[in-house]
C-alpha cells in the first residue's frame, strides 16, 4: 500500500468520538484515528477467501462515540472540532475544541496506548484536560478499549471535572465485504461509560430533561460507496448520524460531518458537527 494511502487510512480514523457537548470532539478524532491503523492490509498480499479475516474498512465509522479498534504504529496527531450551534447558547454561535497526542503499541501481541491533551477554551488557551486509552484486539475480528477522558480538569472552570470512564467492544462482520478487498463493510460497537455517557448537563436538568442518560453507547457503520460509510450513533444521551471524507486526493487530511441531538432526550435542538485532523506518523510499521 502506498505511503499516502497509509497516511489517509490513519487519518480517516481521526473522527471517532464527539458526544453532545464539544468537549467530546477530541475523543472522536482520537478513537477514529487509532481505528484505521489496526486495519491496514498490504495490497500486495495474496488473500485466501476462505481464511482471510475481514478487518474494518478504511472509512469513518463514528464521530460521536468511541470504538474498540486501535492502531499498531506510532504517530502523533493534531485535531480540531467544532459544533454549531453550541447547546443552550443564545444568540446561536459555535464552539471549538483543540487537541494533540500520541499513540503507540501493538494491540495484537500486547496493548496499544494513546494519550492526549485537550484544550477546551481555544480562544483563551485554557481549560486543559487529558485522555488515556488502552486497547487490545481479541477473537477473530473484534477489539476492546478501556479509556478515561477529560481527566484532571480544573474543577473551577470545567463542566465535567470528575472525568469520564468507559469500556467498548467492536466487531467487523465477516459476512459483509467492503468494496476494497480484505475489509468488512459492516462494523458495530457497543459500550458503557460514566460521565458524559451517563450524566446530562445542568442545562438539561434545569429544562426538565432529567439527570441521567442510559450510560450505554453504540454505533453501527455501513459502507455505501467505496471510501464512504454512513454511521448511526447513540451517545448514551441522544441519537446522531455521521460520515467522513478525504478532501484532497494525495493528502492524509480528513474532514468529518455529523448531526446529533435528533431527539428531545437532551440538548435544545439539532446540532451540526465538523471535524478536521492530521496525523504525523513516526514509524513505517503497518
Q: Within a domain: residue 286?
A: no
Residue 257 belongs to what domain range? Answer: 3-281
Question: Above 90 in pLDDT, residue 169?
Answer: yes
Q: Within a domain: residue 228?
A: yes
Task: Provide the pLDDT confidence category of residue 239 given band limits of 50, 70 and 90.
Answer: very high
Task: Count CB-CB contacts under 10 A for residue 181.
Answer: 13
Q: Within a domain: residue 239?
A: yes
Q: Identify any residues that bridge with 84 across adjacent strands, giving them in sequence order.
A: 272
Q: Within a domain: residue 69?
A: yes
Rounded-to-integer distance, Cα 103 and Cα 114, Å: 4
Q: Within a domain: residue 255?
A: yes
Q: What is the pTM of this model?
A: 0.79
Between 124 and 241, the higher pLDDT residue: 241
Rounded-to-integer distance, Cα 206 and Cα 126, Å: 27
The grid coordinates of residue 182 equal 480484505
Query: Domain tally for the chain?
Result: 1
In the predicted model, what is the mean pLDDT of the chain? 82
Q: Within a domain: residue 250?
A: yes
Q: Give the CATH number of the domain where residue 222 resides.
A: 2.40.160.40
| pLDDT at residue 31, as a whole number | 46
Rounded-to-integer distance, Cα 90 and Cα 256, Å: 26
Radius of gyration of the chain from its Cα atoms, rounded to whole angstroms: 18
Alpha carbon of residue 24 to chain centroid: 9
Amino acid at each position: 500500500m502506498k505511503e499516502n494511502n497509509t497516511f489517509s487510512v490513519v487519518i480517516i480514523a481521526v473522527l471517532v468520538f464527539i458526544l453532545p457537548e464539544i468537549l467530546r470532539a477530541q475523543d472522536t478524532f482520537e478513537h477514529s484515528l487509532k481505528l484505521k491503523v489496526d486495519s491496514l492490509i498490504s495490497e500486495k498480499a495474496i488473500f485466501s477467501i476462505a481464511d482471510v479475516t475481514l478487518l474494518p474498512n478504511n472509512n469513518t465509522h463514528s464521530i460521536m462515540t468511541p470504538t474498540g479498534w486501535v492502531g499498531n504504529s506510532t504517530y502523533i496527531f493534531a485535531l480540531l472540532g467544532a459544533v454549531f450551534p453550541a447547546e443552550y447558547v443564545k444568540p446561536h454561535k459555535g464552539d471549538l475544541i483543540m487537541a494533540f497526542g500520541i499513540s503507540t503499541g501493538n494491540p495484537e501481541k500486547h496493548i496499544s496506548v494513546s494519550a492526549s491533551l485537550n484544550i477546551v477554551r481555544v480562544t483563551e488557551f485554557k481549560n486543559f484536560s487529558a485522555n488515556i486509552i488502552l486497547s487490545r484486539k481479541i477473537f477473530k475480528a473484534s477489539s476492546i478499549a478501556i479509556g478515561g477522558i477529560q481527566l484532571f480538569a480544573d474543577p473551577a472552570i470545567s463542566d465535567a471535572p470528575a472525568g469520564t470512564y468507559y469500556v467498548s467492544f467492536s466487531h467487523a462482520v465477516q459476512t459483509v465485504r467492503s468494496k476494497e478487498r480484505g475489509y468488512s463493510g459492516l462494523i458495530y460497537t457497543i459500550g458503557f461509560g460514566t460521565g458524559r455517557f451517563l450524566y446530562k448537563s445542568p442545562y438539561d436538568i434545569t429544562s426538565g430533561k432529567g439527570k441521567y442518560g442510559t450510560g450505554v453507547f453504540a454505533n453501527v457503520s455501513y459502507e455505501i460507496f467505496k471510501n464512504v460509510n454512513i454511521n448511526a450513533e447513540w451517545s448514551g444521551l441522544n441519537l446522531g448520524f455521521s460520515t467522513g471524507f478525504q478532501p484532497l486526493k494525495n493528502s492524509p487530511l480528513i474532514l468529518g460531518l455529523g448531526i446529533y441531538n435528533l431527539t428531545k432526550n437532551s440538548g435544545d435542538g439539532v446540532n451540526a458537527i465538523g471535524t478536521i485532523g492530521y496525523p504525523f506518523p513516526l514509524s513505517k510499521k503497518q
